[in-house]
Amino acid sequence: MISLLSLHSAIVRYWNQYKLKKLKFRYFGTNIKICPNFKLGHTENLILHDNIVLGENIFINAQGGVEIGSGTITGPDVMIFSVNHIYDSEILPFAEELSLKPVVIGENCWIGARVFICPGVSIGEGSVVAANSVVTKNFPPCSVIGGNPAKLIKTKNKEMYSKAKEKSIYNTFIKAD
């Protein structure tokens, strides 16, 4: 049984690597781990910096541009959109025109499971987004946010964050397959 699981795991890993090699990214850093069942749209507008882990079943539509900073980790089932239909038009239910707004996630962020990030959002470096949150607005560095819509819960100690960053404590455990 273990050998079947190992074989399945190897097949999934190589299939994901094959799919990734066929995509053309605006920028694709080093030591990036993208877990199985990912869906990445418009990768020509997607910037992934170094040491990133994107959780299982992540969905990113980068049509309007998406940038994810170094050291950022996402949980499973995260959805990031940089595009939306224009809904306040004379055409029902929405216009065919699209509203493109870039999404920027700073370095060393932790995005919890099943988070939804809306077009035009900027999340400052060192921030934490609680699971099941819907992020509809910008947040400064070192924010701890959560809810629907996401609100600022607290601010992390910026001095402690800066020291940890200098010592490279963040993400020393991440190893890409």
What are all long-range contacts of 136-141, with beta carbons under 8 Å and residues at least 24 apart?
141/106
CA distance 168 to 10: 31
Structure tokens at 74: 């996402």
Structure tokens at 59: 């969905």
Q: What is the pLDDT of residue 172?
A: 46
Alpha helices in 80-173 (DSSP H): 158-166
Query: How many other CB atoms are there within 10 angstroms of residue 96's CB atom?
Result: 8
Contact 85, 48 (CB under 8 A): no
CA distance 109 to 81: 17
CA distance 31 to 16: 15
Does the annotation count 42 as an active-site position? no
From the candidates 8, 42, 49, 85, give the one annotated as an active-site residue.
85
Domains along the chain with CATH numbers: 25-166 (2.160.10.10)
pLDDT tens across the length of the chain (177 residues): 566 666 556 555 555 666 666 688 999 999 899 988 899 999 999 999 999 999 999 999 999 999 999 999 999 999 999 999 887 777 777 767 888 999 999 999 999 999 999 999 999 999 999 999 999 999 999 999 999 999 999 999 999 998 888 887 554 444 444
Q: What is the pLDDT of residue 177?
A: 47
Residue 140 CA to chain centroid, in angstroms?
17
Distances (CA, A) of 15 to 9, 25, 37, 90: 10, 18, 10, 45
Q: What is the pLDDT of residue 173?
A: 46
Say whether pTM exceeds 0.75: yes
